[in-house]
């Protein structure tokens, strides 16, 4: 897989430090849905999106090192948040990489935005938008238009 913000970034084989601790915590969940909710909670407590920082920190869109991304808190670009979320989900053992799709939309009808569409074992799909939570986007929804 290529390392860029359009296609899926390769999941690292080995993790260490705080990101490994997060994965270990998620592995303790009793089922896939609880795993997804716990990963979402960890991510949204750690990271958030900000509209203006998206543009003022444009240089950060090319950061793809999972350990480097995890070492920071606060603002994160949507595709980087999604990459970290995919790592948590796949490394938990509850999800396969194929269960998680990168999806694109436009915020304010002009700004490209990535969120995740996660497939559960029961066939249900759940939208995940880490970046949008700070703007009131709830678990299961995603930012779009003026929403």
Q: Rounded distance, CA 94 to CA 48, Å?
A: 24
What pLDDT is stored for residue 107 in this prediction?
83
pTM of the prediction? 0.87
Each of the 147 residues of the chain gets a pLDDT tens digit; together they read: 343 455 677 899 999 899 999 999 999 999 999 999 999 999 999 998 755 555 445 556 666 789 999 999 998 989 899 999 999 999 999 999 999 999 999 887 677 889 999 999 999 999 999 989 988 999 999 988 776
Q: Where are the domains of the chain?
A: 18-135
CA-based nearest residue to 24, from 44, 6, 38: 38
What pLDDT is stored for residue 3 in this prediction?
39
3-state secondary structure of 119: strand
């Amino acid at each position: 897989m290529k390392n860029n913000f359009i296609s899926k970034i390769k999941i690292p084989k080995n993790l260490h430090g705080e990101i490994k601790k997060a994965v270990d915590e998620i592995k303790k969940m009793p089922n896939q849905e609880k795993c997804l909710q716990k990963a979402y909670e960890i991510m949204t407590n750690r990271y958030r999106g900000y509209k203006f920082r998206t543009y003022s920190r444009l240089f950060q869109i090319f950061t793809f090192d999972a350990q480097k991304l995890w070492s920071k808190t606060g603002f994160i670009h949507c595709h980087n948040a999604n990459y970290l979320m995919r790592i948590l989900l796949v490394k938990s053992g509850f999800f396969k990489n194929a269960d998680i799709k990168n999806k694109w939309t436009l915020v304010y009808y002009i700004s490209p935005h990535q969120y995740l569409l996660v497939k559960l074992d029961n066939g249900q799909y759940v939208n995940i938008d880490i970046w949008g939570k700070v703007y009131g986007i709830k678990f299961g929804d995603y930012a779009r238009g003026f929403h």
